[in-house]
Amino acid sequence: MRGSMSNLSYATDSSNVEDDAPYRDVSLPVDARVEDLLARMTLAEKAGILFHDMITADPNGPLSMAGVDAATAERLIVTKYMNHFNLLGPIVSVRATAEWNNRLQKIALTQTRLGIPITTSTDPRNHFTENVGTGFQAGALSQWPETLGLAALRSSELVQRFADIARQEYVALGIRVALHPQIDLATEPRWARIGNTFGEDADLTAELVAAYIRGFQGSEMGATSVSTMTKHFPGGGPQKNGEDPHFTYGKEQVYPAKNFDYHLRPFRAAIEAGASQIMPYYGQPIGTEWEEVGFGFNRGIIMDLLRGQMGFKGIVCTDWGLITDASIMGQDMPARAWGVESLSEAERVKKVLDAGCDQFGGEARPELVVELVEQGIMPESRIDESVRLLLHEKFALGLFENPFVDAEAAAKLVGRSDFQAEADVAQRRSFTLLTNHEDVLPLRDIKETKVYIEGIDPALARTHGFEVVDTPQAASLALLRLKAPFEPRPGGFEAMFHAGSLEFSEEERARQAAIFAAVPTIVDVHLDRPAVLAEISVKARALLVSHGSSGNAFLDVVSGAAKPEGKLVFDLPSSTRAVMESREDKEYDTKDPLFRFGHGLAYNT
């Protein structure tokens, strides 16, 4: 269906817009098309474009919303004039998802007066993370290491190649905005959001984000581009005690080392690389020159710093849920209106717009914008400024010409075998070898080796030549794949954030020690944030860390069919005390780290 616009009208029969309206004329400059369309829009239509809410794709049923009031997508498109949606949920069937996109676009093109096409966005989808608030497992898409794993390989060429493949898959599905890259710096090891970053180093992150943006957007925005929404400005890493500002107890962002500018370096690189959109984080800065309100409400941060000093001219979209309270996965969540909790919803909207933001993430309240303008509180000219930016991007992405996708072509491209082959190589290479006592790795002869395993499919281990046994005592080797430790939190949504202590519990450490005493053990720890691994590093025969990889990838690495090439993307602390005594905003600040940033061994073969 790509490009097959001839059989669809942009507007309903009641439309007062002629089919030859200048904004549909591809021969005109984009700016002229924007101004023509803007002049035709009512205040309500302008307000609708400022909201970017969540949507779920049900290939077998009606379009549905993940919003607070469970309104249908059709209602929000037709009656609230919204045309930006954040796609939630797994993508299992490529064809069904592409057809769902086309149904969504048809509603916008045939049931609204101006026929403004939908822009669909998504959190990362090409990795292993599964968290409705931060990213989704790859499903039908090619599956790569997390960005931490890409950073472990220190290759901007690989990052750009990854981004180019992900771009192709997104475009085939109709997804045109990436709610990433996430370029916060991992200076507070306990923070739950480190897993989607490039690590602790500002210069490495700056190098890689430029490649990432090139891969998604291309040399300039066009019909095959995916716009990137770089986040979370001005850097979400320095969270007080490592707590996340999705939650009331984590709303404070602190700078005890006065290291604010360090966290800006990757954003400067992103802007220079042409980042189309930027998302400020929820946190409120404490003890700085800036107003102590959440960054999305903070005029000094958005207008003075981001737009004024740093020269950003693109779209600023708030993080999700700054205006209205909500329920997420059965958990009541207050609006993340940190520092302005006492303001009404309309007053919060005004403060966001006054701060210089253009769009409200995770919200469906355009009536509040209409109310502000009609009451003379907000000039319509201010709304026009943001609408211009948002329309310009829709035109630049070619959505007015090609809102539909070819479902058959998408089914052939997304998750293509050659894409996955490249991803599989990256998974293997991204392992980081921290210790290798007596050069136990790679394993020399594994045929019929009796192995005790954890975190590995026994059938898979057998295909690699191992004989799987039930206890460490019956084994000649143990292979353990562990997840980085965290303290479980309550609530359906909150429980998905790995926060708190970086140490395994006393009980778990004792259990591991018993295995180490019984049999030579090789350990791999999946790090979605740093961990305290002092005992494992000494007692295990070899210690690897990884950032998103399959069981096959792990077994290929330990057997020598592939080699670990990764280098640490952050320091690994030696103790909880060292973490607690470190400063949240300062890089490499834990005392006597167990392993330093950049550490990584190679096989002695």
Token pair in block for residue 491: 């609530």
* Catalytic site positions: 319
Edge-to-edge, what's the strand order for the sheet holding 521-526? Answer: 432-436, 542-546, 521-526, 477-483, 450-454, 467-468
Helix axes 265-272, 202-217, angle to 10 degrees: 30
Residue 423 lies inside a defined structural domain of this protein: yes
Q: Give SS3 for 101.
A: helix
In a domain, 496, yes or no: yes
Q: What pLDDT does 58 receive?
A: 63
Cα–Cα dist 155/359, whole Å: 33
Mean pLDDT computed over every residue of the chain: 93
Q: Is residue 428 part of a domain?
A: yes
Residue 475, pLDDT above cutoff 70? yes
Q: Is the pLDDT of residue 231 over 80?
A: yes
Tell whether the model's pLDDT for residue 4 goes beyond 70: no
Q: List the alpha helices (DSSP H) in 218-335.
A: 265-272, 299
Cα distances from 49 to residues 24, 82, 464, 482, 515, in angstroms, run 18, 5, 54, 45, 58
DSSP 8-state code for residue 45:
H
Percentage of the residues of the chain whose pLDDT score is greater than 90: 87
The pLDDT score that the predictor gives to residue 60 is: 54
What does the pLDDT read at residue 59?
52
The whole-angstrom separation of Cα 213 and Cα 88 is 22
Mean pLDDT for 324-330 is 87
Is residue 64's pLDDT more than 70? no
**Separation between Cα atoms, residue 132 and residue 142, nearest integer Å:** 19
pLDDT beyond 70 at 264: yes
What pLDDT does residue 491 have? Answer: 85
In whole angstroms, give the CA distance from residue 316 to residue 296: 9
In percent, how much of the chain has pLDDT > 70?
A: 94
Residue 278 has pLDDT above 50, yes or no: yes
Parallel, antiparallel or unpaired: strands 119-122 and 477-483: unpaired
Which tokens go with 574?
A: 């030696």
Distance CA 524, CA 91 (A): 29
Q: Is residue 536 part of a domain?
A: yes
Q: Does residue 502 lie in a domain region?
A: yes
Tally of CB atoms within 10 A around 510 = 10
pLDDT at position 330 is: 82
Of 481, 450, 455, 479, whose CA–CA distance to 466 is shortest?
A: 450
CA distance 238 to 244: 10
pLDDT-derived band of residue 18, with 50, 70 and 90 as boundaries?
low
> What does the pLDDT look like over 100-142, one tens digit per residue?
999 999 999 999 999 999 999 999 999 998 776 677 888 999 9
Of the candidates 101, 57, 105, the residue with the CA atom closest to the CA atom of residue 77 = 105
Give ∠ CA 259-317-67 in degrees, rounded to 5.
120
User: Among 297, 571, 293, which Cα is nearest to 432's?
Assistant: 571
Establish if 544 belongs to a structural domain.
yes
In a domain, 48, yes or no: no
Q: What is the mean pLDDT of residues 278-303?
A: 98
CATH number at residue 477: 3.40.50.1700
Counted domains in the chain: 1
Residue at 266 is within a domain: no
**Containing structural domain, residue 528:** 417-581
